[in-house]
Amino acid sequence: MNKKLLYSLVALAVVFFVVALVIFLSGSGAEKAPAGTTVPGAQREAVQADTVDLKLFFMDQSDWRLVPLTMRIPRPAVRTQLYREFLRLLLQPREGSRAPLPEGTSLRALYYLEADHILVVDFNQSLVTGFPAGSRSEMEFIRFIVNNICYNFREIHSVRFMVGGNEVKTLSGHIDLSRPFRPNFAYLKKDE
């Protein structure tokens, strides 16, 4: 009987080892996520339609809300590529549409934490080094990014910010960035 127990234990240990190895290897090809986060399963999700309609909201000097600009783009093969393309369109300098962020700001990486419905967006250092200071500027930037993302991708419930691959306390000494931000669509101007 002792032998039986021993064999069972060994067999169980081998099974656990194999399962752990499979889990480890299946995650090794994915984009590296921050410590304590889950690997985004949506990255491998196939999509059906050829194009996707997006509504990008920009600043308008005559309205306190962000005003919409509709775009249709080819749909990328995986969802995180769509998020990435959306942010690229949002950040790129555009005639007549203002984005509240410093020149040179670009996206370094993003991670979708599917279980928590959080998108982690990691910007380059220009975001901090070129930031104009002022709490209102920080709020304008945060609302711009969070509302745009959450309005277009309803599976994302909140957005967390990183800069240069690291967590940051604030952009320029005001709003705490240690927690994810939820959207407030009151800041978006709908189509008239």
Element of type H or E holding 107: strand 107-113
Distance separating alpha carbons of residues 99 and 127, to the nearest angstrom: 12
Binding positions for other proteins, rule: CB under 8 A: 1, 4-5, 8-9, 12-13, 16, 19-20, 59, 61, 64, 98, 100, 132-137, 139-140, 142-143, 150-151, 154, 157, 169-170, 172-176, 178-179, 181-188
Buried b (16+ CB within 10 A) or exposed e, 47-85: eeeeebebebbbbeeeeebbbbeeeeeebeebbbebbbb
Strands 158-163 and 107-113 turn out to be unpaired
* Minimum separation from the CB atom of position 27 to other proteins (A): 14
| CA-derived radius of gyration, the chain | 21
Nearest residue (CB) to other proteins, 58 versus 78: 58
> Which secondary structure element, helix H or strand E, spans residue 13, and what is its range?
helix 2-27
Q: In this complex, which beta carbon is closest to other proteins, that of residue 81 or of residue 135?
A: 135
Nearer of residues 25 and 186 to other proteins, judged by Cβ: 186
Nearest one of 104, 171, 107, 103 to 142, comparing CA atoms: 171
For other proteins, the closer CB: 74 or 173: 173
DSSP annotation of 170 reads: -
Smallest gap from Cβ 192 to other proteins, in A, equals 15
Q: How far apart are CA 89 and CA 91, in angstroms?
A: 6
Q: Which is nearer to other proteins, 15 or 77 (CB)?
A: 15
Query: SS3 for 171?
Result: coil
